Amino acid sequence: MPSLDVVSTVDLQALDNAINNVKREISTRFDFKNVNSEITLDRKGKYIHIVTGDDMKVKAIIEILRRQCLRFKADPKCLDLMEIETASLGVKKVDIKIKDGIPERPVCKSSN
């Protein structure tokens, strides 16, 4: 009997391009003026790390990132947001885990 293997991986280069565009857009936006914002991609750990001034700016960066992911044909559903945390000096930070692959579904046991 033939088997069917389904593979779903995230294109990290497309995600890197999206992050670079987010950095470029943040540098030109007025609401991010005089605010140190940082977004980095950890390819090995498959994380995106965001550090910025407050909660609203974190949410704005995440929204820009989702829009750029769509533009570069990287599914924004692969982004798994963690909690927004307060770091030193009152800045906010969040880690976004990059989900790779298809999640396993629990096997249903039939009651025969």
Summarize pLDDT for 47-101 with one digit per residue, the tens: 999 999 888 999 999 999 999 989 988 888 888 889 988 988 889 999 999 887 7
What pLDDT sits at residue 12?
86
> What pLDDT shows up at residue 94?
93
* pLDDT above 60 for 111: no
**11 vs 66 pLDDT, higher one:** 66
Predicted local confidence at residue 50, as pLDDT: 93
Give the sign of the dihedral formed by CA 107, CA 109, CA 110, CA 112.
positive
pLDDT score, position 77: 85
Determine if the pTM surpasses 0.75.
yes
Indicate whether 4 pLDDT > 80: no
Comparing 108 with 9, the larger pLDDT belongs to 9
| DSSP, res 37 | -
> What is the percent of the chain with per-residue pLDDT over 70, rounded to a whole number?
82
Q: Average the pLDDT over 18-34 and give the result.
A: 92
**Angle at which helices 12-28 and 55-71 pack, to 10 degrees?**
130
